[in-house]
Amino acid sequence: MKNEWRNQKENARKILPLIHKYREVLLFDTETTGLGKTAKIIQFSAVHYAVKEGYVLEEVRKLDLYINPREPLAEKITEITGITDAMLKDAVPEEEAAPVIFGLLGSCGIWAAYNSPFDLRMLAQMSARTGQPFKQHPCVDVLEMARDFVSKADAGSHKLGDVLATLFPGEDFQFHSAIEDVRATARLLPVFLTEYRKVYSAPAEQKRQLRLEWAKPWQNPKMPSQQRIRLMLNEGQYGDIYWDIVGHCWGCKATKSAKALFGSIDLANIETQVLNRYGWKFDAKDMSALSKNWLAELRKKSA
């Protein structure tokens, strides 16, 4: 993690005030028929927690709902989720499930989920199909919290199971039932909130501020998984400092000069400059969204 950096303090500023304001959180998860624009939710699970002193979560109520998609499940989906056509045969259709789901979501001030953009997209698609209104509330992505505090080098990946195994070694967690994933995610939330509190209270480091000249996405043709937004600053070489698109963190080249530059500059200020310059163009408020949307636009143009 020596030459990796994420803006933990900014994330703490966003998340902690919401938790302290509402003193509750609705943790939810979905299982679906697929990943695309026509995918449907086949299980929606949520637990409403009160947030007590020390970020202790106290269960208030829960919802665990199977939904009949009115189409056969792909074999791969059954393999991943453990959900079968027989289990969904007598389940409610989404027209009946949607008012219940959106009613519960609407009753809670703040939501949380692991990889929340996916679940929110699935809910929006349900809303569009059923005509049920879906008003999004502030939603904390616990995956982004994990990226802040769990090293990929230590965990192997930021999949929910790997993160839990790293933080709670020896404990047996069950996954890929939505309600099991919700309860597992609930184990992580107090840990990360406590870490954010420490970050929030820590004095700011005084580092040099440089000027962003320009930035550009780049993909290594010999190693496609190496994807970066490379920066040109008013000091150093182009690409010395970059946003690692796959790793979701700031990094630097392996050269001695790049490492020295990386350790001496105000990366929070650099991130702000990048988002101010390019965020509005690609409908992005954070670096993960910016890199995803920017790359998608470039691929669309080259198609």
Residues 45 and 106 in one domain: yes
List the chain pLDDT tens, one digit each, 303 residues. Answer: 468 999 999 999 999 999 999 999 999 999 999 999 999 999 999 999 999 999 999 999 999 999 999 999 999 999 988 899 999 999 999 999 999 999 999 999 999 999 999 999 999 999 999 999 999 999 999 999 999 999 988 999 999 999 999 999 988 887 767 888 899 999 999 999 999 999 999 888 889 999 999 999 998 889 988 999 999 999 999 999 999 999 999 999 999 999 999 999 999 999 999 999 999 999 999 999 999 999 888 888 876
Angle at 150 between CA 231 and CA 178, to 5 degrees: 110
- Residue 3 domain-assigned? no
Domain count, the chain: 2
* Residue 287, beta-bridge partner list: none
- Cβ contacts of residue 75 below 8 Å, gap of 6+? none
Residues 162 and 114 in one domain: yes
Residue 24 to residue 144: CA distance in whole angstroms: 19
Structure tokens of 287? 């670096």
Q: Which of 179, 201, 223 is the last residue of a domain?
A: 201
Residues 33 and 154 in one domain: yes
Half-sphere exposure of 56 (CA within 13 A, CB side): 4
Q: Which of 201, 234, 255 is the last residue of a domain?
A: 201
Residues 262 and 141 in one domain: no
Residues 168 and 218 in one domain: no
Which residue range(s) make up the domain with 133?
8-201
- Residue 276 domain-assigned? yes
Residues 88 and 171 in one domain: yes
- Residue 43 domain-assigned? yes
- Residue 184 domain-assigned? yes
- Residue 70 domain-assigned? yes
CATH number at residue 25: 3.30.420.10
Residues 190 and 277 in one domain: no
* Residue 92, beta-bridge partner list: 67
Instruction: Give me the sheet containing 41-51, strands edge to edge.
Output: 92-93, 57-68, 41-51, 24-32, 111-113, 139-141
Residues 140 and 35 in one domain: yes
- Residue 207 domain-assigned? no
- Residue 249 domain-assigned? yes
The model's pTM is 0.91
Residues 170 and 287 in one domain: no
Would you say the C-alpha torsion 191, 195, 198, 201 has a positive or negative sign? Answer: negative
Residues 220 and 164 in one domain: no
Residues 94 and 225 in one domain: no
- Residue 2 domain-assigned? no
Radius of gyration of the chain (CA): 21
Q: In 3-state terms, what secondary structure has residue 154?
A: helix
Query: Is-contact 239 228, C-beta < 8 A?
Result: yes
Residues 54 and 190 in one domain: yes
